[in-house]
Amino acid sequence: MTEQTGPLKGLRIVEISGLGPTPFTVQLFADMGADVIRIARPDSAGAEKHLLGMENDPLDRGRDVLELDLKSETGRGVARRLIVQADALVEGMRPGVMERLGLGPGDFPQNPRLVYGRMTGWGQSGPLADRAGHDINYIALSGALHAIGTPETPVIPLNLVGDFGGGSMYLAFGMMAALWHAKATGQGQVVDGAITDGVAHLLGMFHGMAANGLWRDHRGVNLLDGGLPWYGIYPCAGGGHMAIGPIEEKFWAAFQAGMGFAPGDLPDRADKARWPEMRAMIAERFLSRTRDEWAAVFEGTDGCATPVLSLGEAVRHPHNVARRAHVVHEGMVQPAPAPKLSRTPGAIGPGSTRNRITAEVALARWQA
């Protein structure tokens, strides 16, 4: 049994095993102390059964796993008994699947406080609700993918914007809001977590900028998409890159000083016609030193210039080390629980591969 600590200790969650944004949503709860039982298909353990071939996935940490065949009445019966005792459920099936199993939101009148979290790409309704898709499809239709990349082509931002940003984070937030309401009223509800909805919400500032004439629907011409010479990425000698973002005047002054430009050396930032010239001058200067040499120059300054680090380098960076942003857990480097709470910090639980439990153990635990 996974020992629970943290601010959500005592919160009972049933997780129906799923992909990407579903386990990450539950990881957020588990890291903060929720008591999670994952219902997985029989014989689901092992790297060969994992979509990405991982034996131990950090997204799966901190919960116990109960293997049930939900196509059998016996398996569904155990699942029902657990859900009746739960505070919340998280599932990522296509719309209608849980209802056909007799495990939908309306099948638990004896648990009126149940918060039923549903994670999908397109949502529970709408013309695309029954269609398959992945992160890239959801961010494409939400407008985010078009805005990210080079002037020539959109660039895939991993699956951070859709699955995890617009999906998991929004579902977790919606469930916490619903759990707060259930605590006050005894009434649960369905949280319809559509990745497309979450990504649309993430884009709110950019819709506002567009409405005010401050955003154009072309990549590489706007404030935060690399359109400005002073907000972008530059290659250095030796192959590394530096990321710069000195938007405010005082930071721009610090940046110029670090680069060795005297006041007036670079064109006036207000003169857009000379931006290509400015970009070329900055690019040429960055190519005069290696990334690590430039990182040393800007260390301790407000020039808003930082090295572009790989995953392995980020783990070793002194700031991330000081913040304990990563930990070694069960032989694997993993991100630590975030954010950090001053009184009741989160903690990493064992990986799910080590916590297979039986139906008897699960039912007895929550009946106690």
What does the pLDDT look like over 94-140, one tens digit per residue? Answer: 999 999 999 999 999 999 999 999 999 999 999 999 999 999 999 99
Return the bridge partners of 149, or none.
154
pTM listed for this prediction: 0.94
Q: CA–CA separation, 293 vs 290, rounded Å?
A: 5
pLDDT in tens, 30-68: 999 999 999 999 987 665 566 677 778 899 999 999 999
What domains are defined for the chain? 12-202+338-367 (3.40.50.10540), 232-319 (3.30.1540.10)
Crossing angle of helices 195-202 and 169-185, in 10° steps, is 100
Q: pLDDT tens, 149-181?
A: 999 999 999 999 999 999 999 999 999 999 999
Strands 12-16 and 35-40, by their bridges, are parallel
332, 58 contact by CB (below 8 A): yes
More confident residue, 171 or 4: 171
Q: Which region holds residue 170: left if phi is over 0, alpha if psi is between -120 and 50, else beta? A: alpha
Q: Can you name the residues that pair with 116 across neighbouring β-strands?
A: 89, 190
**Annotated catalytic sites, by residue?**
134, 163
Task: Give the tokens for residue 260.
Answer: 């060795």
Segment 233-283, tens digit of pLDDT: 999 999 999 999 999 999 999 999 999 999 999 999 999 999 999 999 999
Say which residue the tokens 């699947």 belong to: 97
Evaluated on CA atoms 50, 51, 53, 58, the torsion sign reads: negative
Distance CA(215)–CA(124), nearest Å, equals: 32
